[in-house]
Amino acid sequence: MGGMPLTFAGRMKLVPEACQGILTSRIVKAENIIASCPKTDQHLLDQMKVMGCETTNNNVEAAGSSDVVLVGVKPNIVPRVLHDIKSCVTPKSPLVTSVALGVTIDSMESILPDASRVIRTMPNIPALVNCGASVYSKGTYATADDVTLTKRLLLSVGTADEVPETFMDAITGLSGAGPAYVFVVLEALADGGVKMGLPRPLAQKLAAQTIMGAAKMAIETGKHPGQLKDEVCSPGGCTIQGVAALEAGGVRASFIDAVTQATLKSLQTAGK
């Protein structure tokens, strides 16, 4: 597997960091990864070079020699990249994957040659620290081996689940945008600690560790989050007072609406 040629095509600012997880997993060797982006983003290619990867400004040059192509660009740029590389895409090779918001499998298959193998993925930003929550959907002609390979690549930077493509927009609103919601919570918790006299670095550290620990408990125990909340709230204690303040502020409705609005934006981007 380490000899598999892999291409990053486009202008994805997170590629250098995400690539580190793939390299650490040893699924692909650095010398078998080639990254392509415009000359205006040369600094990204420089980061890839430091890791031992090949670089180019020519998408066709990159894709033509690869088994897997990862298209990491803004949604409106995806058609341009696919038109760039379609001359070197066949049913046999390469597998074309995308991380672009709202870009459907059907739209990608309509640009690429008939029977091209396509898989749509949706990772999230914690993949940069090997703690991503990623999902993927297989295209019409993607094989079982393609699915296995995609899952292995995504597992190298976190979790990976296969989902129906109809779930993608809601997942974008939840786990795709979710880290930003949690960063807001983290900042607010730290602000509360500072308000009550804690030094900022300590308050932020405690807030981050608390969020990480709570998430780990939910994953490892398998308990409903409501049950875990109840186990922390002693009758008449300080925690239930804090929970009551959150409820009074409409925290549940705010988070539900955040996921809803982000999902609707993803749907709008996809033209649905």
Which segments are annotated as binding site? 59
Reading the block at residue 199, the tokens are: 């030094």
| Distance (Å, whole) CA 34 – CA 63 | 9
Query: If 0-12 CB within 10 Å is exposed, 13-18 middle and 19+ buried, where does residue 203 land?
Result: buried
The DSSP symbol for 123 reads -
Residues with Cβ within 8 Å of 127's Cβ and at least 6 positions away in sequence, in order, are 14, 18, 21, 134, 157, 158
| Amino acid, res. 72 | G
How far is Cα 31 from Cα 215, in angstroms, rounded to an integer? 36
Judged on CB neighbours under 10 Å (0-12, 13-18, 19+), 56 is middle
Could you tell me which residues are annotated as the binding site for NADPH? 59
Q: Let me know: does 10 contact 79? Beta carbons within 8 Å.
A: no
Please report which helix (H) or strand (E) contains residue 35, including its range: strand 33-36
